[in-house]
Amino acid sequence: MVVEKIAVIALYTTIAMFVGILFMGVGRKIVARVHNRVGPPVYQGFIDIAKLLTKKTNISHGWIYDLALLFSMTGIMLTILFLPIGGVKLLSMEGDAFLVLYLLAIPALGFALGAGASGNPNAAIGVMRALVMMLSYELPFVITLIALMIYYDTSSIAQIVEMQHAKWAIMIPPFVLAAAVADMALQGMLMEAPFDIPTAPHEIASGPMAEFGGKHLGALMIYKAGTIVAYTTLFVDLFLGGGVVMHDGSVLAYLANFAVWFILIFLVFTLSLLINTSFPRFRIEQAFKFYWKYEALLAFISLIWVYLMVIS
């Protein structure tokens, strides 16, 4: 039983990483189409990572720098395991919504640790910006999450997914507002414009990544691929019913749910890319103001609205 469970977990993390790396290539292709270009092949992400991992030299900046990447990678994998993918529960339990919130902070912290160890002033600025960004987008995101938890009366993401069988959360009026807020928070989590502040190449030479190269950068890209899957899946689980369309537990249902999940995270990711291609980037204090002023206000309105719906 345990062996089986481990095998399934290994399978799912592999699939998640695979999908993430594929999405990196697809994303570049989509962006290229907006730019009027042909763009790289969709499997470009795999080639890039293969190249980086087969680089001959490897410059390290001490053991914190090396371990920090593992730290991030573990964080993001754990996050994926606590999120139902296509309705399949891996490590779900009661109260995992809070756990996921904590887990989401780990990769960013690991990233910050590694970048800080590299000793580049650009990286230091980038890390500071990344931490401020995290602080900014978490407030509106947590409020929307609380709204969901109040409405569905549970603190388990898997249960939230299950309760959306009849009707996706986004079909309920207050959650349209909440989904919009969460989507902008997602934009910040994925570090896409207008919130690609921590890695702005023109300002701080790609920030935390400034000193990463070779195998370290390859590992970083895998981690980045993981974040794409984790964050989009979180959004799909919370607002789009986790992509579950059939509930009879058959193999067909399993495959169908998986396919729908894939399509949904792809759509969410595409939306974020399209926003990315049509906005310049904010300054960090503007981003902070945006999240804590407008976004938090909207999130609060949806929270009160949900509360009124629940008590009436």
Partner 1 sequence: MKEYELFIGPQHPGVTGNMMYHLWVDGDIVTKAECNVGYLHRGFEKLMESRGWMQNVPLVCRICVPEPDVNEMAYAMAVEQLMDWEVPDRASYIRVIVLELARIAAYLMSIGSYAGSLGIYTLPQWTLGDRDYILDIFEQLTGARVYHIYIWPGGVRWDMPEGLPDLIEKTLSYIEKRLKLYDDVFFRNRVFFDRAAGIGKIPKNRAIEWGVTGPNLRACGYGYDVRKLEPYAAYGDMDFEVVKYPELGDFEVISDGCDAYTRIVVRRLEIDQSISMVRQALKKMPEGEHILKHPNWLKWKAPAGYAFSRVESSKGEYGYFVVSDGSSKPVRIHVRGPSYTHGINVAETILKGANIADVSQILFSLDVCPPDIER
Partner 2 sequence: MGLFDGDIMKYEDWNKISRIASRKSLWMVHFCTGCGAIELPPVMTSRYDMERFGMGPMATPRQADVLLITGYLTVKTLKRVVNVYEQMQSPKYVISFGSCPINGGMYWDSYNTVKRLDRYLPVDVYVGGCMPRPEGVMNAFLELMKLIDEGKARGWEKYQKYYEQYKRNQKMAFNFEREKDEGA
Contact residues toward partner 2 (CB under 8 A) are 28, 32, 35-41, 44, 47-48, 50-51, 54-59, 201, 205-206, 209-214, 217
Nearer to partner 2, 85 or 210 (CB): 210
Residue 209 binding partner per list partner 1, partner 2, none, with a CB distance cut-off of 5 to 8 Å that depends on partner kind: partner 2
The single residue among 56, 202, 251, 312 that binds partner 1, judged by CB under 8 A, is 202
The single residue among 74, 154, 270, 277 that binds partner 1, judged by CB under 8 A, is 277
Residue among 77, 69, 53 nearest 112 (CA): 69
Structure tokens given for 145:
């999450």
Q: How far is the CB of 134 from partner 1 (least distance, A)?
A: 17
Residue 176 binding partner per list partner 2, partner 1, none, with a CB distance cut-off of 5 to 8 Å that depends on partner kind: none
Residue 281 binding partner per list partner 2, partner 1, none, with a CB distance cut-off of 5 to 8 Å that depends on partner kind: partner 1
**205 near partner 1 (CB under 8 A):** yes
CA–CA gap between residue 279 and residue 295 (Å, rounded): 17
* 281: three-class secondary structure by DSSP: coil
Distances (CA, A) of 114 to 79, 131, 210: 20, 13, 11
Residue among 264, 3, 274, 297 nearest 139 (CA): 297
Residue 284 binding partner per list partner 2, partner 1, none, with a CB distance cut-off of 5 to 8 Å that depends on partner kind: partner 1
Phi, psi of 109 (to 5 degrees): -70, -40
DSSP structure class, residue 172: S
Nearer to partner 2, 37 or 293 (CB): 37
CA–CA gap between residue 81 and residue 8 (Å, rounded): 10
* 168: three-class secondary structure by DSSP: coil
The single residue among 21, 49, 83, 124 that binds partner 1, judged by CB under 8 A, is 124
* 36: three-class secondary structure by DSSP: coil
Structure tokens given for 213:
């190269």
Q: How far is the CB of 202 from partner 1 (least distance, A)?
A: 4
CA–CA gap between residue 263 and residue 236 (Å, rounded): 10
**41 near partner 1 (CB under 8 A):** no
Residue 28 binding partner per list partner 1, partner 2, none, with a CB distance cut-off of 5 to 8 Å that depends on partner kind: partner 2
Q: Which residues bind partner 1 (CB under 8 A)?
A: 31, 34-37, 121-122, 124-125, 128, 193-194, 196-197, 200-205, 277-284, 286
